[in-house]
Homo-oligomer: A and B are copies of this chain.
Amino acid sequence: MITTETSPSQYSVMSWFVRLFLLLCCTKCSLSWVYERTRGQVWPLPRFVSYQKTLNYINPVKFTFKVTNNTCPILDEAVKRYTDVIKKMLPRNHHQWQGCPDFSSLQEVLVTLTEPCEDWPNLHMDEHYEVHVNRPDYDNLTIVSSSSVWGLLRGLESFSQLVTPATDAAGCLVLNSTDILDYPRFKHRGLLLDTSRHYLPVPVILNILAAMEMNKMNVFHWHIVDDESFPYQSITYPSLSDKGAYDSKHLIYTQDNVKNIIEYARLRGIRVIPEFDSPGHTRAWGGGANKLLTACFTNGSFNGEFGPVDPSRSQNFKFVRTLLEEVKSVFPDKYIHVGGDEVQFGFQCWMSNPTVTQFMKDNNITSPENLEGYYMNQVLDMVYNINASAIVWEEVFKHGDPLHNDTVIQIWSSNRTEMLKEVTKEGMYALLSQGWYLDHISDQWQDFYKIDPTDFDGTEKQYQLVLGGEACMWGEMVDETNIVPRIWPRASAVAERLWSQKAVDKTAPAPRLNEHVCRMRRRGVAAQPANGPGFCP
């Protein structure tokens, strides 16, 4: 029987009266009646999951994963990581343990990869996997299997989420016999981090990547530079961070930092897509790149301010091309995000500058929107010339010439239903972020959860052009003091929406999210309360 409806050993199945009884009569009651939390359920919800009643006990001291077929460093590291997760799954009072007795029934989990590993996560990676715990028709084996190393990563995560400390056998862990057959609904399940408005220390980024793995998110969209600071230490143009970082020695990302972040992500099946947003949002580039930005004029003379990249200077396109070539060599993903948003805030500056307006006349460019389109099309040509693909913000779709049809349009500000329809109608790929802005602090996880990337009127072909979406953590008001609890668990709602079946919101997710919050907490991610009063065991 394959179903998503069964709920093993969960607080929420207790009736109000049972809970009242516990409250009034039991000698060791915890006030679970104010707070429902599942035990051993998976987030995001698998496509097909069936829990049986049989309980399987694990002695964490003796527990092992056994790789039975292909392997590679990604899988070896994952097995180490999840062995550690299982062995450290201790409740608060673990020092009182007597050790798990020998009746424990589950000591070994087979980890079976049927095809060779890929080296780099990518848009088209296969994330299917199966988990069978104590499968009767299979010699009562417990197995996590996939034809893809990426699928195995997801499967190991799900397996680890089935396991909880046993309440009836101190020192043991426990999980129900379970069958899972799982794969994501969308290929691109991303989180945007903005390291320009506030610098984020590398360990904070790694902690967020670890949490992304727990939520089966697979794209770290690194909005690495912007108006406020340029922390990326470029090989070709070191002056950009020398002049543009908040602190050119300490608040930068060195090439080593970037390599470490990419490798940490790769081992977790997470793509790192860097964004170098232009021609707007480039104020911090100006100190380190001579004449890159447009000088703004008032009454015929330079007024001391600078606008977007100056598209009248061919040297500026050469500069951007060289930078993109470096980016392509540093970041292995096929995709580069080249921004293109909110250029309209710089239109007045462009139109005030006599060289720019002369350039427009000379090239029959009749409006600043068209100048923006001209600029972005040049940049997109560069991207495709270096064998990369591009993601852009929605304005580029609105203002550009017809775009290379491999280009992905990220929707962030318009009516999302209309924009999804229009973009896919033109045969373009779409990513949804509108409605998933984590900096909107009044939005609860329920608000994010309501939004679905296929909630528009389109054809099946159009729906298939929707690659997924991204939760966006813009950095104006967050830094290392508050970013982790602001992201988690609200981004978990986006993660589940992008992984699980569309009707997942009908499954009463709140008690499962409460468990997931406590799980993230136990694994070192400071996820904040999801649903009001409560506690983690």
CB distance from A47 to the nearest CB of B (A): 31
A29/B243 in contact, CB under 8 A: yes
Q: Is the C-beta of A16 less than 8 angstroms from some C-beta in chain B?
A: yes
CA distance A116 to B23 in the complex (A): 52
Ordered nearest first, which 10 A-B pairs have the shortest CB separation? A482-B485, A197-B533, A246-B535, A481-B526, A228-B533, A482-B528, A481-B485, A476-B532, A481-B528, A92-B250
A532/B477 in contact, CB under 8 A: yes
Q: Taking CB as reference atom, which chain B residue is nearest A231?
A: B535
What residues of chain B lie closer than 8 Å to A284, measured between beta carbons?
A: 31
What residues of chain B lie closer than 8 Å to A24, measured between beta carbons?
A: 286-287
Q: Is the C-beta of A442 less than 8 angstroms from some C-beta in chain B?
A: yes
Question: Which residues 273-310 of A sit at the B interface, judged by CB distance below 8 A?
Answer: 284, 286-287, 304
Q: Is the C-beta of A138 less than 8 angstroms from some C-beta in chain B?
A: no
Question: Which residues 475-493 of A sit at the B interface, judged by CB distance below 8 A?
Answer: 475-479, 481-482, 484-486
Contact flags A227-240 to B (C-beta < 8 A → 1, else 0): 11100000000000
Question: Which residues 14-58 of A sit at the B interface, judged by CB distance below 8 A?
Answer: 16-17, 20, 23-24, 27-31, 34
Chain A interface mostly helix, strand, loop or mixed? loop
A535/B477 in contact, CB under 8 A: no
Q: How many residues of A contact B (CB 8 A)?
A: 56
Q: Is the C-beta of A318 less than 8 angstroms from some C-beta in chain B?
A: no
CB distance from A531 to the nearest CB of B (A): 9
B479/A29 in contact, CB under 8 A: no
B247/A198 in contact, CB under 8 A: no
Question: Which interface residue of A228, A477, A535 has the most chain B CB atoms within 10 A?
Answer: A535
What residues of chain B lie closer than 8 Å to A229, measured between beta carbons?
A: 31, 34, 533, 535
Contact flags A511-529 to B (C-beta < 8 A → 1, else 0): 0000000000100001111
Q: Is the C-beta of A220 less than 8 angstroms from some C-beta in chain B?
A: no
